Amino acid sequence: MTTVDVTPATGKKNNSPGNSRRRVYRPNTKYIPVLATLVLLVIMYSSGVANYENFGDPSVLVNLFRDNAVLIVVAVGMTFVILTGGIDLSVGAVISLTTTLTATLLKGGWPPLVVLVLVLLLGSLLGAGMGAVIHFFKVEPFIATLAGLFLARGLALFINQNSIPIRDKTWKAISEYRIPLADGVVTKPIALVALAAVLIAAAVLAWTRFGRNVYAIGGSADSALLMGLPVGRTRIAVYTLSGFCAALGGVLFSINSTSGWALQGNGLELDAIAAVVIGGVLLTGGSGYVFGTLLGVMVYGLIQTIIAFQGDLNAAWTRIVIGVLLFGFIVLQRLVTRKAK
């Protein structure tokens, strides 16, 4: 899987579809979307290095993890949901609820550990509730989680409409802690949390019964049911997991900004969905990888980094450039995967 940059094209040239023996090396078709994303990401990165001074600095790459830690964690949860063929629109709102609640409770003098456990539990509970509504009452995921979005953001606004600063010592300490990686390259604890989330999620999807059930439901929920797989339990678990990840994302957010605000994470659900899809996960479910999602977030982050390096773009142009780059990336990815088939 390391030297694959050229394979899709050469593999196509050297063999007809019927003659599969004389092929050179051709990656398994199920990896192609992820590999396409990887290749394009590398191209994007190298063009960044070629065009901007200091872009090749290792801290640029390391900072991608730090700046996008929240999105990574949320997108990992979203990957599970989308793999089952569902969607979770509530994640941005759960983030806002988490940050608001965290800030409010910490201000009220609650012990940090209790707050942490409480908000994570609340996020999971919200997710489980939506999963239960989707499974037992057969409400469409899009609508059930849209209601969840209104509910979570409504609760957040009800608690407090203003931005609340966090002065808790533990939160501040984590926020200011730096982990040295190499000379002049440091990162924050939240980046490690994000990385850990990716690794754990990838392991769960690849090697556990739960992971296989997720793929099976995404492939065909009816067949999964007939095979005797625990469809209901898995489906609810997936939304619970997404709720947990969103709450964790909210905690990371509150650590990073040392504040809580009910309008935080507005529209983040679409960023997460876009990242997941760019990473090669099919919205219809059943196909895709957590590492693809990570690459998808990296694409998003790299686009923003390039815009930051460009430096002279105002808000309007930033949006347009993000749109154009997103467009270019998706079309390229589409071409690469189509050719490979």
Partner 1 sequence: MTILKNRLFWPAAILVVLLVINAFTSNQFITVRDGHLFGTLIDILRGSAPLMLVALGMTLVIATGGIDLSVGSVMAISGAVACLLISDLGNQNSVGSVLLIIGVAIAMSLLLGLWNGALVAVAGIQPIIATLILMVAGRGLAQLITDGQIINVRSDPYSTMASGFLLAVPVAFLIAAAAVALTVVLTRRTALGLLLESVGGSPSASRLAGIRARRITVMVYVVAGGFAGLAGLIYSANIRSADSISAGNLIELDAILAVVIGGTALIGGRFSIAGTVLGAILIQTLSVTVVAIGVPSKATLLFKAVVVVALCLSQSPTFRTKVFGRLKARPAVRAEVPA
* Nearest distance, CB of residue 96 and partner 1, angstroms: 11
56 or 323: CB nearest partner 1: 323
Give the tokens for residue 68. 């996008």
* Nearest distance, CB of residue 136 and partner 1, angstroms: 7
148 or 211: CB nearest partner 1: 148
CA distances from 145 to 126, 247, 263 (A): 10, 15, 18
> How far is 313 from 270, CA to CA, in rounded Å?
23
43 or 331: CB nearest partner 1: 331
> How far is 192 from 182, CA to CA, in rounded Å?
15
94 or 151: CB nearest partner 1: 151
Look up residue 165 and give its DSSP letter.
E
Length of the chain (residues): 341
C-alpha closest to that of 285 among 54, 20, 88: 88
* Nearest distance, CB of residue 146 and partner 1, angstroms: 6
| Residues at the interface with partner 1 (CB under 8 A) | 89, 133, 136-140, 142-144, 146-147, 149-151, 153-155, 157-158, 161, 221-222, 225-226, 270, 273-274, 277-278, 283, 314-320, 322-324, 326-327, 330-331, 334, 338
C-alpha closest to that of 296 among 281, 284, 306: 281
* Nearest distance, CB of residue 324 and partner 1, angstroms: 7
188 or 235: CB nearest partner 1: 235
Helix (H, G, I), strand (E, B) or coil at 185: strand
* Nearest distance, CB of residue 216 and partner 1, angstroms: 14
